[in-house]
């Protein structure tokens, strides 16, 4: 039965069964029972035998229900091998430790923050990097060039180019300058 209350003098236990909660009297002369009660907390499960004398339920036999304790422990420790979740936030009950799987190789991961495991992320980066990085670099170089050329054309500090050819030359010079700096080409 579920322990739902413990008397302040530890001589009574409130236990719940299918019929509801009731108070049970502990035999105070029984040291073994007293030791068990001293260790009990609300929420524990006990096996009792009792006899009702003058409307009072007297506990004759008291044992911690280890079957329930074990069941609880197993439930908590059981790995969730058949409910792998790919990425995203978990929607498992809090009592269950969620497992996540790498989207690419299926390896289990500690959390679902990333879709791929570290190894797969590294592989993806390694195969994509040169082309993607060059593309990004060229975009930045273009952006830096346009900002710089714009600033130069609007600044009184620089002599104004007189025609389109001069402007194009300025752009090319600035672009090449940044390209050398960023890509080393
Ligand atoms: Zn992986």
For residues 24-42, one letter each, b for 16 or more C-beta atoms within 10 angstroms of the residue's C-beta and e for the rest, the string is bebeeeeeebbebbeebee
Give me the residues paired with residue 56 across strands.
Answer: 53
- Which among 29, 37, 28, 39 is positioned nearest to 62, based on CA atoms? 37
- Alpha carbon of 117 to ligand 1 centroid (Å): 4
- Alpha carbon of 96 to ligand 1 centroid (Å): 23
The parent domain of residue 33 ranges over: 2-70
CATH number at residue 49: 2.40.50
Residues 51 and 90 occupy one common structural domain: no
Cβ pair 32, 63 in contact under 8 A: no
- Alpha carbon of 123 to ligand 1 centroid (Å): 9
Question: What's the mean pLDDT in 80-92?
Answer: 48
- Alpha carbon of 101 to ligand 1 centroid (Å): 8
Residues 160 and 106 occupy one common structural domain: no
Residues 40 and 65 occupy one common structural domain: yes
- Alpha carbon of 90 to ligand 1 centroid (Å): 19
- Alpha carbon of 106 to ligand 1 centroid (Å): 6
Residues 66 and 22 occupy one common structural domain: yes
Assess whether pLDDT exceeds 70 at residue 75: no
The whole model's pTM is what?
A: 0.38
What's the pLDDT band for 10 if we cut at 50, 70, 90? Answer: confident
- Alpha carbon of 92 to ligand 1 centroid (Å): 22
The count of structural domains within the chain is 3
Assess whether pLDDT exceeds 70 at residue 100: yes
Q: How far apart are CA 161 and CA 159, in angstroms?
A: 6
- Which among 39, 38, 46 is positioned nearest to 14, based on CA atoms? 46
- Alpha carbon of 113 to ligand 1 centroid (Å): 13
- Alpha carbon of 104 to ligand 1 centroid (Å): 5
């Amino acid at each position: 039965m579920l322990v739902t209350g413990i008397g302040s003098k530890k001589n009574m236990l409130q236990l719940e069964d299918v019929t509801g909660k009731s108070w049970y009297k502990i035999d105070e002369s029984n040291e073994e029972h007293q030791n068990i009660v001293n260790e009990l907390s609300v929420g524990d499960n006990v096996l009792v035998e009792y006899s009702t004398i003058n409307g009072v339920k007297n506990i004759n036999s008291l044992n911690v229900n280890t079957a329930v304790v074990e069941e609880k422990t197993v439930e908590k420790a059981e790995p969730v091998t058949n409910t792998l979740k790919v990425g995203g936030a978990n929607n498992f009950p809090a009592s269950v430790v969620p497992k996540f799987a790498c989207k690419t190789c299926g390896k289990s991961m500690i959390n679902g923050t990333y879709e791929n495991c570290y190894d797969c992320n590294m592989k993806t980066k390694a195969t994509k990097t040169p082309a993607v990085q060059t593309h990004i670099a060229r975009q930045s170089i273009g952006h830096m060039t346009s900002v710089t050329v714009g600033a130069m054309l609007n600044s009184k500090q620089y002599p104004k180019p007189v025609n389109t050819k001069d402007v194009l030359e300025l752009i090319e010079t600035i672009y090449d300058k940044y390209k050398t700096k960023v890509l080393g080409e």
